[in-house]
Chain A
Amino acid sequence: MATETRRHGGKVVQSPLGVSVSLWLVPLSLCALCLLGVLAADGPKISAARNGTIRGRVELRRVVAPAERRPTVSDLGAPIARDLPDVLRSVVYLESAPRGAFETSEGGHAVMDQRNETFVPHVLAITTGTTVDFPNSDKFYHNVFSLSKTRPFDLGRYAAGNSRPVRFDRPGIVRVFCEIHSHMNAFILVFGHPFFAMTDAEGRYRIENAPPGTYGVIAWNEGTSSASKPVTVPDGGVAEMDFTIR
């Protein structure tokens, strides 16, 4: 219970996911995600008890419009049609994780495609050690880059059919952009633990294999986070928690 007191009574962990409001919040977000690791050291231990599930729904009261194309005043003709990013997907994650959750990072692969002047998916949630491939599926150049402190990178220009990988070793939020098409942007949320989930088209989420215990849970959408809500995962059971992001 000492952990619970620390987590919910007094020492409030700042939300790390306020980045879409402005990139200047990234350092704060980084600190917050780093704090996750610190808190985890005192969190509930992974034990032989049966893991449980946290599930629920995220309701978006405020839907962020996709970034518009800058006025193409200097273009000789109208720009080509583009796809719009899916800004309705949210990420739900444990604010802190059980001790030991940070020790095993298998480093998988994920893909963020560049297709019809849109990053697909628009939001990617991964664990540290994951390598993300950035294929170019358009007939023209893109130049993927990020100035995020978590993982700055610039992949340069490469043509259709080619891909460049980036490995993410630090937790945090990475804003991804295209230098050539300023309306293209995406988020990569890098977690130091595996207890997170993306919502589906109806806003439902499901975090599996959470060890029994009480955790703070946060929902995030396009840079806006909900308040942390305490959730108790029963031994082998299911905990329900809904969120509203305004």
Chain B
Amino acid sequence: MNVWSTTLGLALLSVASARAQTLPSEPIAVADGRVTIGGDVSATMGSSDPGFFDYTDYEHSALRMLRVDVSAAVNGGDHLSLLAELRTENLDSVQPYALYARIRPWTKRAFDIQVGRVPPTFGAFARRTYANDNPLIGYPLAYQYLTSLRPDALPASTDELLRKRSLGWLTRYSLGNAAADKGVPLVSAFRWDTGVQVHATAGVVNVTGAVTAGTVSNPLFSDDNNGRQVAGRIELRPVSALIVGASVARGPFVAVSAVRAALGDDSRAGEFTQTAWGADVEYSRGYYLLRVETIVSDWRLPIVKTPDLQLALRAVSTSAEGRYKIRPGLYAAARVDYLGFGDVAGSLITEPWDAPVTRVEVGGGYSIQRNLQLKVSYQYNHRDGGVLEQLAHLKAAQLVFWF
């Protein structure tokens, strides 16, 4: 209740403050422009979600969240800059979402090395999760919906895995960490990974590669399995209107502690990987913006008791979203989203290892001023199976402020 009172208070304060000319409209620059500070604040109020469709962990819903991001860039000359972002959700503890150095060895070449907690290499949406970049309020399923998989806890058999269908918001397994915790999405939009990233641009081609500690579904600050993820992305911009991207990532997913619990030793920890492929297209012209993104993810887990699991657990997600500007400051948007899971054979039944989800979200936004926007949306969610509610009609409103 306190969080919502605070949310409402901040929302009202932001409007009142904007009228009173006290809120910044540009990034704050100090030290002769060498340090710039920006901010993103979004206050979201939405329907209760007993089916946990929009939860980002077991206590946070993307439709009921106050999110505050403060980002900073320190320009250390032509070759070096430091970038950081601090984030808090619902006024919980402040987390360093990003913290890295950007090195440009040759000033005349579009070639950068980024070291630290770096932006996601994989996919398109993960780098535009900010509320002012997202035409709707909800996230694409691939980046938010929590599957029943955990890196630190494992089902002993496929039967145990199938019993956890739809329980990704809070699940518990018999092997590894015994505490209940959230599962992972296909690609996390809520944490960035730690490592080294290289980016180059040549004409219409952008290429990025990275070696990081975690995986796309489980980015980490410190490694839990002594393995490294390798990720790559190529992006083509043949004309202004079109961006075509393809991504791939592969790295050890299961924590050493869980592998040890399942197999007795951790010598094979590097085999239990997440491999993801992604393709995305963005086309925009005039008042239209269209985006389509497909992600396929395979997880290999040490599920060794009968019925065991030899094949990878596959999940496939496709989302398509569009935005149309109706008049200055006003737009409408929609997203259609599907998340499916591959079949696995249990003792009695063969079925998808998690419950497939379909989501349709429609909404729009109105700019009260350039950097103060009100968004509303309606979301239809349907889950095909599982033990939780299978249908949800959710409504939400969001106030967004940035500078």
Interface residues of A (CB under 8 A from B): 21-25, 65, 67-78, 80, 139-141, 145-147, 152-154, 156-160, 175, 177, 182-183
Give the Cβ gap from A180 to chain B, nearest Cβ, in Å.
9
Give the distance in Å from the alpha carbon of A67 to the alpha carbon of B27 in the complex: 8
B127 touches A74 (CB 8 A): yes
Give the Cβ gap from B240 to chain A, nearest Cβ, in Å.
4
Asked, given contacts A73-B119, A154-B328, whether A68 binds B36 with beta carbons under 8 Å apart, the answer is yes
Give the distance in Å from the alpha carbon of A43 to the alpha carbon of B347 in the complex: 94
B286 touches A158 (CB 8 A): yes
A147 touches B370 (CB 8 A): yes
A76 touches B199 (CB 8 A): yes
> Which residues from A are CB-within-8-Å of B371?
182
B33 at the binding interface (Cβ < 8 Å): yes
- Please, which residue of chain A has its CB at the minimum distance from the CB of B33? A68
8 tightest Cβ-Cβ pairs between the two chains A and B: A71-B73, A77-B199, A77-B112, A156-B286, A159-B240, A152-B328, A154-B328, A22-B21
A139 touches B240 (CB 8 A): yes
B319 at the binding interface (Cβ < 8 Å): no
A23 touches B25 (CB 8 A): yes
Asked, given contacts A23-B370, A147-B328, A159-B239, whether A74 binds B130 with beta carbons under 8 Å apart, the answer is yes
> Which residues from A are CB-within-8-Å of B102?
77-78
Known: A71-B71, A73-B119. 9 other contacts (CB 8 A): A24-B18, A68-B33, A71-B38, A75-B119, A77-B112, A77-B206, A80-B110, A153-B328, A156-B287
> Which residues from A are CB-within-8-Å of B403?
70
Interface residues of B (CB under 8 A from A): 18-19, 21, 25-27, 29, 33, 36-38, 71-73, 81, 83-85, 98, 102, 104, 110-112, 114, 119, 121, 127-128, 130, 197, 199-201, 206, 208, 233, 237, 239-241, 284-287, 289, 325, 327-329, 367, 369-371, 402-403
> Which residues from A are CB-within-8-Å of B208?
76-77
A157 touches B286 (CB 8 A): yes
14 residue pairs from A and B, CB less than 8 Å apart: A22-B21, A22-B25, A69-B36, A71-B72, A73-B84, A76-B233, A77-B102, A77-B208, A140-B240, A152-B327, A157-B286, A158-B285, A177-B370, A183-B26
> Which residues from B are CB-within-8-Å of A146?
328
Give the Cβ gap from B364 to chain A, nearest Cβ, in Å.
14
Give the distance in Å from the alpha carbon of A57 to the alpha carbon of B111 in the complex: 46
From A71, A73, A139, A157, B241 is in contact (CB under 8 Å) with A157
Give the distance in Å from the alpha carbon of A183 to the alpha carbon of B83 in the complex: 18
- Please, which residue of chain B has its CB at the minimum distance from the CB of A141? B240
Asked, given contacts A76-B199, A77-B112, A78-B81, whether A69 binds B240 with beta carbons under 8 Å apart, the answer is no
> Which residues from A are CB-within-8-Å of B239?
159
A72 touches B73 (CB 8 A): yes
B119 touches A76 (CB 8 A): yes
Give the Cβ gap from A192 to chain B, nearest Cβ, in Å.
23
> Which residues from A are CB-within-8-Å of B83?
71-73
> Which residues from B are CB-within-8-Å of A141?
240-241, 284
B369 touches A73 (CB 8 A): no
> Which residues from B are CB-within-8-Å of A68?
26-27, 29, 33, 36
B287 touches A73 (CB 8 A): no
Q: Which of B25, B112, B114, B208 has the most CB of A within 10 A?
A: B25
> Which residues from B are CB-within-8-Å of A74?
98, 119, 127-128, 130
B27 touches A159 (CB 8 A): no
> Which residues from B are CB-within-8-Å of A73?
71, 73, 83-85, 98, 119
- Please, which residue of chain A has its CB at the minimum distance from the CB of B29? A68
Give the distance in Å from the alpha carbon of A12 to the alpha carbon of B306 in the complex: 88
Give the Cβ gap from B359 to chain A, nearest Cβ, in Å.
24
> Which residues from A are CB-within-8-Å of B21?
21-22, 24-25
Give the Cβ gap from A158 to chain B, nearest Cβ, in Å.
7
> Which residues from B are CB-within-8-Å of A65?
29, 33
Give the distance in Å from the alpha carbon of A25 to the alpha carbon of B18 in the complex: 11
Give the Cβ gap from B109 to chain A, nearest Cβ, in Å.
11
From A67, A77, A153, A160, B240 is in contact (CB under 8 Å) with A160
Give the Cβ gap from B312 to chain A, nearest Cβ, in Å.
28
Give the distance in Å from the alpha carbon of A158 to the alpha carbon of B284 in the complex: 9
Give the distance in Å from the alpha carbon of A71 to the alpha carbon of B233 in the complex: 22
A77 touches B328 (CB 8 A): no
Give the distance in Å from the alpha carbon of A70 to the alpha carbon of B35 in the complex: 10
